């Protein structure tokens, strides 16, 4: 399935989710998103030691619903509802934008280095 909303810049969800989570009375989760311990990961491109955090998707959707709709809110809401994004904790792993070639190149170089 293809997200019908204009692609938002990688990481742009953070400000929205922090505000929305605070709106709905979830300041602890808002703080985790704000400091980067928790993030939205593109489900199809997760590599490394990424832990999907189950049970908070609904909170994130409620948080986005508490905001004024715009293309970024709609993009991330649709992505969460349709499995494009998952809530995750990276613990130092790479969680990246599939359209950004730099992390892919870095991972490829790292793998090649250790395989030589």
Report pLDDT digits (tens) over 56-100: 999 999 999 999 999 999 999 999 999 999 999 866 544 455 566
Domain-embedded: residue 108 = yes
Domain-embedded: residue 6 = no
Q: pTM value?
A: 0.75
Domain count, the chain: 1
Domain-embedded: residue 60 = yes
Reading the block at residue 98, the tokens are 């599939």
- pLDDT tens column, 1-17: 799 999 999 899 999 99
Domain-embedded: residue 45 = yes
How far apart are alpha carbons 34 and 112 in whole angstroms?
34
Q: What is the pLDDT of residue 109?
A: 65
Reading the block at residue 94, the tokens are 């790479």
Domain-embedded: residue 62 = yes
Q: What separation in angstroms does the CA of 38 have from each of 11, 50, 97, 112?
A: 11, 10, 16, 29
Domain-embedded: residue 19 = yes
Domain-embedded: residue 79 = yes
pLDDT at 108 > cutoff 90:
no
How far apart are alpha carbons 23 and 58 in whole angstroms?
14
Q: Which domain holds residue 49?
A: 13-115
Domain-embedded: residue 84 = yes
Residues 6+ apart with CB under 8 A from 99: 7
């Amino acid at each position: 399935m293809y997200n019908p909303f204009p692609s938002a810049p990688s990481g742009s969800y953070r400000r929205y989710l922090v505000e929305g989570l605070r709106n709905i009375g979830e300041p602890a989760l808002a703080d985790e998103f704000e400091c980067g311990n928790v993030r939205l990961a593109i489900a199809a491109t997760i590599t490394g030691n990424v832990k999907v955090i189950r049970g908070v998707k609904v909170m994130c959707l409620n948080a986005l619903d508490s905001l004024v709709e715009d293309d970024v809110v709609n993009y991330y809401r649709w992505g969460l509802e349709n499995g494009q994004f998952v809530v995750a904790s990276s613990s130092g792993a790479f969680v990246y934008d599939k359209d950004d070639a730099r992390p892919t190149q870095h991972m490829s170089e790292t793998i090649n280095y250790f395989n030589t």
